[in-house]
Structure 1
Amino acid sequence: MVSSAITPTRTIAILIGVAVVAVAGFAVVRSGVFEPETVQGAIPGPGSSSPSVSASLSPSTSPSPKPTVEPEPTTPAQIKAKNIADAKARLVEYYETTAVVANNGYDDWESKLLPFWGRPQIWQPLSNLFEGYRVDGRYTTGAATVESIELTEYRDDRSGFEDVALDACVDFSKVTNFDSNGDEIRRAGGAPARYVLAYVMRHQGDEGSWTVHEEIPETERAC
């Protein structure tokens, strides 16, 4: 299972028929252009509840040792490994953040999600989609989980704009979508709730972050 187990370093849809499932999701065709009609389920990520906070240290409690600071990677192999780990972690963070947005009626989606979208072909249609859900009063409960992530390609042009291609197995089965009246919007009959989505995560250069550059839902690929 990948969700929280992915290495966190540097700091993401099921076919729906017409008028079926409202979601905090998104989809992109092979050319990288988003198609709203392919969207299915909200993307609440793992961690829908807040982690417990440990009690304050008492005089008799020894403080925990300081975490070890990992050295910066220097060799090409180390840099590649870190980039792959960072891209995976960013993808999971995207699912987690989208969950918060969808569960909260899509309020404030701009500030929370725009930083994840790397190019107009992604952010323009998704902005329209999420704003439409917000205006319509839709919301979701539950959380999708990233079950696994596999590297399919790594591209480094030596200019700081690395691409990491990933296949993510995502389970949407625990996500429920609702309209503004609180009525459940059910999935289209036969639509899978667990399948592979192919991503390209791109690093935006020095001081930049990893962003979603492409997303392709491969609903025929069960996982």
Structure 2
Amino acid sequence: MVSSAITPTRTIAILIGVAVVAVAGFAVVRSGVFEPETVQGAIPGPGSSSPSASVSASRSPSTSPSPTASPEPTTPAQIKAKNIADAKARLVEYYETTASVANNGYQDWERKLVPFWGSFEIRDSMGVAYEQSLGAGQYTTGAARIESAITTGYRAPEPNYERVNFEVCVDFSEVRTFEKSGEEIKRQSGVPTRYYLLYEMRHHGSDRGWAIDAEDRQVERAC
């Protein structure tokens, strides 16, 4: 997601129901080729979203008692639910970080974003686009809105290396991208402002945790 990244959301909501499907055939940034003409904004920026309780812990008023810690999951169902929630939270964190990077002219993108990318394909394709945006002095404003999201896949070939797939509908209509001069970069004619993005998240072990192995921008699938 780059050249305009994916900024603040009105709602990072409804993240995410559960279903199990095969992961085979998942495209990596459109089979490893980044399509800059489809990029329309940054993922949600810090402080601009209203995440649901399923994404992050609800913040109780100061008069409310402190919540008790949840017990560690022990059953396969509990472990699966926790893994999906953790992967989801990591994806939201990535959206927020991408937003802050894009809104700040893509400064320091490598240090901030590379830890979120779990494959060489997505790292290389995204990295090229971010470096081009930085060099050109581009930046973004506005807010992308996640309108809906579901979990479409879960696999646990072995502990600590699980995979989760998400399908997300994102609205980019309020996002604007600018040249260094301040001139707005118009969206390509015919590209919808709302479409689906597919993600594959994989746990990369205790030292690294969850990262994005693949992203597929399904621009042809307006939502």
Q: By the TM > 0.5 criterion, same fold?
A: yes
| Contact residue 46 and residue 144 of structure 1 kept, 8 A | no
- Which 5+ residue runs of structure 2 have no aligned equivalent? 1-9, 17-27, 51-61
Partner in structure 1 of residue 29 of structure 2: 28
Matched, 1:132 2:96: no
**Could you tell me the TM-score, scaled by structure 1's length?**
0.78
Query: Larger C-alpha radius of gyration, 1 or 2?
Result: 1
Partner in structure 2 of residue 122 of structure 1: 122
1:65-80 mapped onto 2 (5 Å cutoff): 65-80=65-80
**Could you tell me the TM-score, scaled by structure 2's length?**
0.78
Of 3, 6, 17 in structure 1, the residue corresponding to residue 12 of structure 2 is 3
CA distance in 2, matches of 1:173, 1:183: 18
Give the drift of 1:2. Answer: 5.9
Report the residue type matching 2:194 in the other structure.
Answer: R
Change beyond 3 A, Cα 1:158–1:87: same
CA distance in 1, matches of 2:200, 2:73: 22
CA distance in 2, matches of 1:117, 1:38: 21
| Contact residue 200 and residue 212 of structure 1 kept, 8 A | yes
CA distance in 2, matches of 1:4, 1:192: 21
Give the drift of 1:35. Answer: 2.1
| Contact residue 48 and residue 142 of structure 1 kept, 8 A | no
Give the drift of 1:63. Answer: 6.4
Change beyond 3 A, Cα 1:200–1:49: closer
CA distance in 1, matches of 2:177, 2:87: 28
The number of aligned residues is: 192
Local SS of the residue matching 2:107: coil
CA distance in 2, matches of 1:160, 1:50: 29
Change beyond 3 A, Cα 1:44–1:159: closer
CA distance in 2, matches of 1:149, 1:139: 27
1:74-153 mapped onto 2 (5 Å cutoff): 74-153=74-153
Partner in structure 2 of residue 200 of structure 1: 200
Give the drift of 1:48. Answer: 5.0
- Which 5+ residue runs of structure 1 have no aligned equivalent? 8-26, 52-61
Runs of 4+ in 1 over 3 A off after TM superposition: 4-7, 36-39, 46-51
CA distance in 2, matches of 1:34, 1:213: 14
Matched, 1:41 2:50: no
| Contact residue 12 and residue 145 of structure 2 kept, 8 A | yes
| Contact residue 42 and residue 99 of structure 2 kept, 8 A | yes
